[in-house]
Copies of this chain bind each other. A is one copy, B any other.
């Protein structure tokens, strides 16, 4: 290890990755600083410390994370791949901007991916009862715990997305899962604008119940019930008023908004 790179490097020993899937294969592959930087930067975004369309200056991140520019740049490349940040050659990196149309794209794509996952699950599974839902149930338990006992808004969001990721993972197609994980980054970006509003929409126990219902529907054996549950699931999460505050609506996004009144 080098003399510098302390801040992040110190964490390498006992990390809890925000993306738990990374370490799933090999027992010990501590990530490179670049990957750690990517996680840290994404957390800055999700926590709202850096907002949509904000300029991200590499050196600022360096001093903040305690590493040199090389890993920071690579970390930004990683985040670029999932669309969390956008780079314009020689003009730097910005957090992705979120117009109303962007949110529309993100949420509909996410819904589409979940439905695709369920479709594949049913298409390639003889008997739904054989599906191993261990991880999904574990995620549901963690989610319930987080919502009922914890009070960290950020932790709740993470638990919620962990559950949805496990849901998608049921389909067994790792490419679908990767793609879902990427778009999830962007969903979290949307949420970062909307953290406080979450609690006003529904109570914690309502939220847990909603996820429990989703699990039941997906594993019910009835594809259409599963698909409907997915398309219904997201509707309350984003209050209409929030979306209306965003600029950059298009004909399509307006139409989509109207449809859910």
Contact = CB atoms under 8 A, between A and B. Distances in A.
A83 interface: yes
A175 interface: yes
A177 to B, nearest CB: 10
Given A78-B77, A119-B112, A178 B256 contact: no
Interface in A206-259: 252, 255-256
Please give the count of copies of this chain that the complex contains.
2
Contacts of A73: 74
Interface string A44-86: 0000000000000000000000000010011001101111000
A256 B81 contact: no
A173 B81 contact: no
B172 A183 contact: no
A89 B256 CA distance: 43
Interface of A: 26, 29-32, 34-35, 70, 73-74, 77-78, 80-83, 88-90, 105-106, 108-109, 112-113, 116, 119-120, 124, 172-176, 178-179, 182-183, 186, 252, 255-256
